[in-house]
Structure formats: structure tokens, C-alpha cells
A and B are shown apart, each in its own frame.
Chain A
Amino acid sequence: MRGVLKRYRFTIIMFILFLLIIMLFPGHSEAVKGSFSNQILTMISIIPPVFILLGLFDVWVPRETIINMLGEQSGIRGALLAFFLGSAAAGPLYGAFPIASVMMKKGASIYNVFIFIGAWSTTKIPMFLFESNALGYRFSVSRLLISIIGIVSISFILNRSTNTKEKQILYERFQTSNS
């Protein structure tokens, strides 16, 4: 119970503030309520199914089988796979780091690992659907296009800016870490 209260403390503070504002500023209360219900509706229309799909994905797709297909020799297919993997993932960006480290450990290339991280952060499929819903297809499709170019460029820059020795140090670090 205390844990729940602690996690929701900001929410509770905001809720009290919300009620206070509605009571103290009747002139603004319509706009506040309208905006609130608007956002809640948007949320209900998409969040529950998205979370269920992500849960199913998590349970059905084994990680190990995929990780081996992303090594230095995987070429364009590996990059595409890394991209798709990241896009199908769930969770915030920092959730990608542990998985990326497992990929590195199994010998995935730096280029593919950062394509994966970029896709994880930006081109998630459920996110894209939600973005289209909220901001329109023109916005989301054009942002998706430029993001793909951006992700590949950033991965390329990262791969180029680390020399062979640095890469080796990095790989050794992952080999010895227990993550």
C-alpha cells in the first residue's frame, strides 16, 4: 500500500491541484475538463491493445534465436533485422541497453546494435500507430522517413568513429560483464 502511495504521489498532488484549479477558477474549468477527457479518450482508444500486443510479443519471441543473426557478416539482412527487432520492441530507451549488451556479447556488430537502439527509440510500430492517431499520418509518415535516414546515419557515424582497438575494448567489456 505504501509503495503504491509513493509511486502515485505526484499523481495525487496533481489531482488535488486539478480539483483546486477547477474550484478556484470556474472560468477555466471547462477548458481544463475538456482537455482532460480528450486525452483520456485518446489513451483508452489505443493503450490497452498496444500493451497486450507487446506482452504477447514478449512471451512468444525468443531472444537467443534472433541474436545470432546480427553479426559482422550479416550485411544488409542483419541491419534490416536489427531495425525490425528494435521496431517491434517495447519499453523506454534505457530498456534497450541491456538487450544491446547481450547482442554485443553474442557478437552482433556495433553498426547493427545502434540500428537496433535507434529503431527501438524511434520507429516502434505501436508507437507509430499511436502517433498517427494523435498527430495525423502526414506528420508521422514524414517523421518515420526522416528517422530511418537519421538512424542509419547515426549508426554509420558511430561505427566510423570507433576504431578497431576501441571496438575490441568494448567487446571485451561485454564479454566479461555479467549483464
Chain B
Amino acid sequence: MNTIIIYVITVVAILISLIKDSNKTVKALKKAIMSLEKILPQFLTVIFLVALAIAFLDQEKITQLLGDNSGIWGILAASIVGSITLIPGFVAFPAAAELLENGAAFAPIAAFVSSLMMVGIVTLPLEISYFGKKISIIRNSTAFVFSIIAAFFVSWMVSI
């Protein structure tokens, strides 16, 4: 259902754009294809990786690592992994959904997704070159703490 809606919106948007300016529309579509192609290798690599991991990490192991009983350690581990990794959200979501289906709890998944988006250990040098050490370090550490708070909140909301 969601898929149909978003496809319809996209087609309408393309048509409106075409009527207004066909050159710009072609440029936009080229941009779309280029950015998609840029992300594709990362995408496929992660998909393969997750598929293999899921097969060998059976339900029991995932539940152990990220399940309901993994508690604060599961959340912390998920936050740290999310802070270090540099995978785009739309690569991470299917992977996260797959983990949930296979026994992971909501809290660590929320922690992972939040820290993945907000905390960038790998990009920290780049951030420092723009905003300086102080701001960058404060931003990333507060965002890390936030990802843990978000984990508790989301898991509580889902359980109501």
C-alpha cells in the first residue's frame, strides 16, 4: 500500500516537473540515477552480508545478543556499532527489520538506527574541520546519549 502511494506521488511529481521544464526534469532524473548508482555497491554488500549473517546467526544467537534479555548491554553494543558504521539509513532499515523478525528486541534496534544517523565517529575529522573540536565532540557525545534515551522511549511506546 505504502509502495503504491509513493510510486503514484513520484509519477505525478515527474509529470508536473515535465510540464514546467523538461530540461530540469531530465537533469533531476540523471541526478537520481547517479546517486542511486553511487550507493549501489554499499547496498548490495550489506544485503549479502546480512543475508549470510542471518543464516548463520540463528534465532537463538540473535535473541541472546540483541533480544529482550540483552538489556542495557545489548542497547550499548547497538549504539556503539551504529556510531562507528557508515551505512545509509535505507540500507540499515531492511537489515533492522530482518533482525527484528529473527528475535532482536526493539530497544537495541532503535538505539542502532538512532546512533547510526546522528553519531559519526568516522566522519568526525571532517566535522571538526567545519565546526571545530569543541562543537563536534559535544554534538556527537550528546547524540550518543540521546540514542540510548531513544531506545528506551521507542521500546516503551511499542510495548504499550
Question: Can you list 10 contacts pairing A with B, beta carbon distance less than 8 Å?
Answer: A18-B48, A45-B2, A46-B90, A94-B127, A97-B130, A118-B118, A143-B110, A146-B153, A161-B134, A162-B135
Q: How far is the CA of A6 from the CA of B6 in the complex (A)?
A: 34
Contact check, A47 vs B90: say whether CB atoms are below 8 A apart: yes
Q: B158 on the interface (CB 8 Å rule)?
A: yes
Q: A84 on the interface (CB 8 Å rule)?
A: no
Residues of A within 8 A of B80 (CB): none
Which residues of chain B from 3 to 19 have any CB-CB distance to chain A below 8 Å in the complex?
3, 6-7, 9-10, 13-14, 17
Residues of B within 8 A of A18 (CB): 48, 51-52
Residues of B within 8 A of A (CB): 2-3, 6-7, 9-10, 13-14, 17, 24-25, 27-33, 35-36, 41, 43-45, 47-52, 54-56, 86, 88-90, 93-98, 100, 106, 109-110, 113-114, 117-118, 120, 123, 126-127, 130-132, 134-135, 138-139, 142-143, 146, 149-150, 153-154, 157-158
Contact check, A21 vs B52: say whether CB atoms are below 8 A apart: yes
Q: How far is the CA of A155 from the CA of B67 in the complex (A)?
A: 33
Q: How far is the CA of A42 from the CA of B2 in the complex (A)?
A: 11
| Shortest distance between the CB of A117 and any CB in chain B (Å) | 8
Q: Which of B13, B97, B143 contacts A42 (CB 8 A)?
A: B97
Contact check, B47 vs A36: say whether CB atoms are below 8 A apart: yes
Q: A66 on the interface (CB 8 Å rule)?
A: no
Contact check, B51 vs A35: say whether CB atoms are below 8 A apart: yes
Contact check, B47 vs A127: say whether CB atoms are below 8 A apart: no
Q: Mark A129-147, 1 if CB is under 8 A from B, else 0.
A: 1111111001101110111
Contact check, B41 vs A56: say whether CB atoms are below 8 A apart: no
Chain A: interface size category:
35 or more
Q: Mark A36-61, 1 if CB is under 8 A from B, else 0.
A: 10111011011111111111101110
Known A56-B14, A93-B117; judge A50-B90 contact (CB<8 A).
yes
Greatest chain B CB density within 10 A among A45, A49, A101 is at A49
Residues of A within 8 A of B95 (CB): 39
Contact check, A55 vs B89: say whether CB atoms are below 8 A apart: no
Contact check, A146 vs B96: say whether CB atoms are below 8 A apart: no
Contact check, A40 vs B47: say whether CB atoms are below 8 A apart: yes
| Shortest distance between the CB of B4 and any CB in chain A (Å) | 9
Residues of B within 8 A of A23 (CB): none
Residues of A within 8 A of B120 (CB): 93-94
Q: Which of A31, A47, A93, A134 contacts B97 (CB 8 A)?
A: A134
Q: How far is the CA of A1 from the CA of B98 in the complex (A)?
A: 34
Q: How far is the CA of A32 from the CA of B153 in the complex (A)?
A: 33
Known: A47-B90, A48-B36, A157-B138. 13 other contacts (CB 8 A): A25-B55, A36-B47, A43-B90, A54-B35, A55-B32, A59-B24, A59-B27, A100-B130, A101-B130, A130-B93, A146-B150, A150-B143, A170-B135
Q: How far is the CA of A51 from the CA of B28 in the complex (A)?
A: 9
